[in-house]
Amino acid sequence: MAKRMVEEGRVRIEIPDPEEYRSVSGDYVPSLAEVFYNPQMEFCRDISVSVAQVVSRELGGLRVCDPLAGSGIRGIRYAAEIEGVTDVLINDRSRAAYELMLRNVELNPSRVRIAVENDDANVVMLRNRGRFNLIDLDPFGSPARFIESACASVARTGMIALTATDTGPLCGAHPRTCIRRYGAQPLRTEYCHELGIRILIGFCQRVAGKYDLALEPVLVHSTRHYFRIYLRAKRSASLADTIMRGQGYISHCFSCGRRWTFRGLPRVDGCECGGAPAHSGPLWTGPLWNRDFLENVIRDLSGRTYRQREAEINMLSLCLMESGGPPTFYDINALASMAGVSPPRIKWVIECLRKSGRFASRTHFSPTGIRTDAGIDELMALLQR
């Protein structure tokens, strides 16, 4: 296996030479490589480091598990870049990945002990029940089959971070797969990426409830080909009960664009336009972001010198802006098409809504999206002025 040296954050690691793993079109395909390393995920890993630093400060220290480590880049960065980390475990069941991780740990001497293992991810987590303050699940595809073990392995207080690249099923392109994998019905709406994240959160919370574990989302983002979710974990039956009360459904009328959010079962049979609403869920209906936590992450990220720092801060600032709004958002182009008018400037729509006392902001989910507590009739009247 030919290798190439890359630098990311404060570390340098060896990866499989991308020139050997290119598609017919000439693009590098990480999944073809003998050991997985995706350069596009540097954006995600940068944010993860700042998230972990905030968690470390909150808890007074951090024990980290990266059970699907590939090249080991994420866990090695945690050891090198976060104050308060006491130990890091990186694991991959691939023997080639294990040998490369050993080499990469050697390349990055650290005061933090980095344990390297070559086993099944679920076995590693179950062998370390209640040990880790931060468990980072970054699989190729769905994280669903690792959630149970992560819930058993996380400490009484900590965080479970996860990535999902199976956005098609979660966004409604393959509904039967989503139902089978996550026990929830998706919908193919203009805000399907938000629905997908809410379905994934709801699934994790239902699994965690079996362990009297409450999982509260503090930061989520939908970027490129993946969803990224950070769930604050606390072992408490009463808090888990509180979280479970946030499970519900989002109903959508494809005839007029109306939508409803229900805690518990959906309670709408028909729409006033005469359409029949479709239902998505069960899913998490509560907030997707914790403002204080997000502000701390942005503050930490602002002090770092990453290549993509400006883009990362801009995306998180959009999340902060929309964090006070209700579930779902409206696509301005879709609304304009329904109203029979040209799409107005989003800035003008937001200003008008705010002047009328409504919550209104852009959303990081879509460049043409507006998150607001205004109803569809109010929005249509605004566009038809």
Architecture of domain 3-263: 3-Layer(aba) Sandwich (3.40)
Encode burial over 320-344: b for 16+ CB neighbours within 10 A, e otherwise.
Answer: bbbbebebbbbbbeebbeebeeebb
Structure tokens given for 73: 């880049």
Region(s) of the chain under CATH 3.30.56.70? 329-385
Nearest residue to 188 (alpha-carbon basis) of 278, 262, 269: 278
pTM given for the model: 0.96
Structure tokens given for 106: 């050697």
Beta-carbon contacts of 259 under 8 Å, excluding residues fewer than 6 positions away, are 189, 250, 251, 252, 253, 328
- What local confidence, expressed as pLDDT, does residue 39 receive? 86
Tens of pLDDT, residue by residue over 132-190, are: 999 999 998 999 999 999 999 999 999 999 999 999 999 999 999 999 999 999 999 99
Residues 382 and 375: beta-carbon distance below 8 Å: no
Region(s) of the chain under CATH 3.40.50.150? 3-263
CA gap 202, 219 in Å, rounded: 15
Give every residue of the chain whose pLDDT is below 50, as ranges.
Answer: none
Structure tokens given for 227: 């969803």
Nearest residue to 79 (alpha-carbon basis) of 47, 113, 54: 113
Tens of pLDDT, residue by residue over 333-368, are: 999 999 999 999 999 999 999 999 999 999 999 999
Residue 166: CB atoms within 10 Å: 24
- The structure tokens 């994790």 sit at 204
Beta-carbon contacts of 314 under 8 Å, excluding residues fewer than 6 positions away, are none
**One-letter amino acid identity for 123?**
V
- What local confidence, expressed as pLDDT, does residue 333 receive? 96
Structure tokens given for 12: 């340098």
**With DSSP H G I counted as helix, E B as strand and the rest as coil, what are the percentages for the chain, rounded to 5?**
40, 25, 35
CATH class belonging to 329-385: alpha beta
Nearest residue to 83 (alpha-carbon basis) of 63, 64, 61: 61
- What local confidence, expressed as pLDDT, does residue 33 receive? 67
- What local confidence, expressed as pLDDT, does residue 25 receive? 63
Beta-carbon contacts of 270 under 8 Å, excluding residues fewer than 6 positions away, are 276, 277
Structure tokens given for 107: 């390349």
Nearest residue to 53 (alpha-carbon basis) of 76, 75, 84, 74: 84
